[in-house]
């Protein structure tokens, strides 16, 4: 069993529209029908609201329920399925969606522990990776994509986003090569100046 990194992909609680966009945030990837997307999705998680949690619970009977979590009956890819969590963190009930590889029975428990650990820390901080994932998650499809013939062979297929210059010029740039200045411009104002590291 390959262990997948558990990663937060959106800052704040996603509303219903954003939640549905994020369920398949890699849908435009090249060779969508030919590849195993387990590594893309397994481990991704984000917060949702109480109404969204209830809505998803009522769509279909869950595949299973374990205390404060339930899994959707339909699989996204391979053994990867949506797991929804209702967690009490710092005295407040919050709701989350995560993609777990159910081929690994401990995957939902590890996801739960990672969410609680991350959200119990001061929330007014974001790592560089969280900033990049938030940008990808919140950018609409016409302004993001995957590197094509305009990029070197080694870069093709990697995620790209549009970047605007001060002279109103624009071009696509690799997501993981955005500068700190690019990232600051693309983040909403309330997230722009958060510290990168979280104090212990």
- Span 106-132, pLDDT tens digits: 999 999 999 999 888 765 778 889 889
pLDDT (mean) for 23-44: 79
* CA angle at 70 for the pair 69 and 76, rounded to the nearest 5°: 125
Which of 82, 21, 88 is closest to 50 using CA atoms?
88
Query: How much is the pTM?
Result: 0.84
Burial per residue of 161-192, b for 16 or more beta-carbon CB atoms within 10 angstroms, e otherwise: bebeeeeeeeebbebeebeeebbeebbeeebe
Say how far apart CA 24 and CA 137 lie, in whole Å: 10
Mean pLDDT of 25-39: 76
What is the Cα 145 distance to its own chain's centre?
Answer: 16
| Of 94, 30, 41, the residue nearest 72 (C-alpha) | 41
Region 50-67: mean pLDDT is: 88
Task: Give me the mean pLDDT over the 33-62 stretch.
Answer: 86
- pLDDT mean over 77-100: 92
In this prediction, residues 34-49 reach a mean pLDDT of 84
């Amino acid at each position: 069993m390959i262990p997948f990194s558990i990663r937060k992909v959106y800052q704040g609680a996603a509303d219903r529209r954003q939640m549905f966009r994020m369920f398949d945030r890699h849908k435009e990837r090249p060779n969508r029908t030919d590849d195993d997307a387990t590594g893309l999705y397994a481990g991704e998680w984000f917060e949702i609201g109480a109404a969204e949690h209830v809505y998803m619970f009522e769509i279909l009977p869950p595949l299973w329920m374990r205390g404060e979590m339930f899994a959707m009956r339909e699989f996204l890819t391979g053994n990867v399925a949506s797991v929804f969590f209702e967690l009490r963190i710092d005295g407040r009930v919050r709701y989350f969606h995560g993609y777990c590889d159910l081929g690994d029975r401990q995957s939902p428990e590890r996801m739960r522990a990672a969410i609680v650990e991350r959200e119990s820390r001061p929330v007014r901080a974001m790592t560089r990776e969280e900033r990049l994932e938030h940008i990808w998650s919140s950018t609409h499809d016409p302004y993001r994509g995957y590197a094509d013939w305009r990029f070197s062979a080694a870069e093709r297929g990697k995620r790209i986003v549009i970047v605007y210059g001060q002279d109103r010029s624009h071009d696509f740039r690799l997501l993981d090569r955005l500068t700190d200045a690019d990232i600051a411009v693309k983040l909403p104002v309330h997230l722009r100046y958060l510290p990168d590291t979280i104090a212990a």
